[in-house]
Every structure is written in C-alpha cells, then in structure tokens.
Amino acid sequence: GVIARQVAEVMTRLVRQSGRPPYDKRAHDGYWRQIMCRHSERTKMLVVIPMVCSIPQACGQASDCNAAAWSDEDCRNRVASELEALCHTKGYRWGLFWQVNDHVSAPAADVPMQWVKGIDRVDELMMGLTFSIHPSAFFQVNTVMAEKLYAVIGELGGVSPSTVVLDICCG
C-alpha cells in the first residue's frame, strides 16, 4: 500500500542519518536488520517493527559507526517522531514496536518485540468481521484476495451461515 512505501522512504532516510550501518549477515555486524510494516488501508491503522542488533555488537568488526551515531534510544525516538508526523498527515493510527535480535538467523520465538508507543495491534476488516492482529501473528496480508478466495471456497463447498470453515493451511 501507499503508506508502506511512505514508511519505507522515512525509514531509508532515518537509517542513513543514524550513523548506524545496516546488518551484514555474513559478518554478523551492523545495526539495522529489517523493518516490518503491518497496516490496514480499511481501518487506517499501522504498526512498524524495526529489528536491530544490540549496540555493543552493532559496530563490532566493521567499525562503520562514527562518533555522531545515534544511540539505540535516539533511533527509537526518531523513528517514533517521524512515524507520528507521517501518520498524522495521512490520518492513520499508528504504533511502534522494537525488536533486538543478536542471533545469526531470523529471530527465535523467544526474541520479544518491545512495544514503544502508539497502538499495539492492527484491526483488519474482512468479510464483515473485524480481526485484531498482533504484529507477530500470521494473517493474510492481501485481504482483498483472501476474501475472494474464501467466497469461492464457500460457493464450491456449499457453505451456509451455520457452517464452520477453518483455514488450517494458511501461509
């Protein structure tokens, strides 16, 4: 969606300004690992979750950090400030989580997301229902196509209002 592209533009600028290098998986060095954006155009809600390495390791071997590099707290505060400004102009309710992952690979289930500010879930409307989605939960990102798929399944399966349909193989 448009808001996700705008978040990407904001985050690209902030990453460059931060003085903290992006993460290099081969060297296990750097600060900024990834940025996840979960949003709903229908409910005008947005949650952003940057994943970073902890500061002591974030500039280890590469020494790419300069003396003016932002602290971890500065990074969180500036991201929050920029998201607030963007979402205010676009009419979105927003939230920010922060995840520190020092594992070599993707985060394990025990790597928590720290809620920083704003909303802590995104509500999504689909097929007349409202789903409250935590940032780490799986939910179909293309709700328009999911609705179409579910409608076809309902039609082919002869679903009635009393039928229970489970999406057990989602994702």
DSSP string, 78-130: HHHHHHHHHHHHHT-EEEEEEEE--SSSSPPTTSPEEEEEE-S-EEEEETTEE
pLDDT at 62: 46
**3-class SS at 50?**
strand
Cα-to-chain-centroid distance, residue 76: 14
Alpha carbon distance 59, 53 (integer Å):
9
Identify which has the larger pLDDT, 43 or 63. Answer: 43
Alpha carbon distance 48, 35 (integer Å):
7
* Residue in the structure block whose two tokens are 């296990």: 28
Q: What is the mean pLDDT of residues 146-162?
A: 90
| Segment 73-86, tens digit of pLDDT | 999 999 999 999 99
**3-class SS at 34?**
strand
Alpha carbon distance 130, 52 (integer Å):
31
Q: Which of 64-73, 125-134, 140-149 has the lowest mean pLDDT?
A: 64-73
Kindly state the percentage of the chain with pLDDT values over 70. 89
| Segment 92-128, tens digit of pLDDT | 999 999 999 888 777 666 678 899 999 999 999 998 8
**Do residues 49 and 34 touch, judged by C-beta distance below 8 A?**
no
Over the chain, what is the mean pLDDT?
88
pLDDT at 116: 96
CA distances from 76 to 29, 83, 114 (A): 20, 11, 11
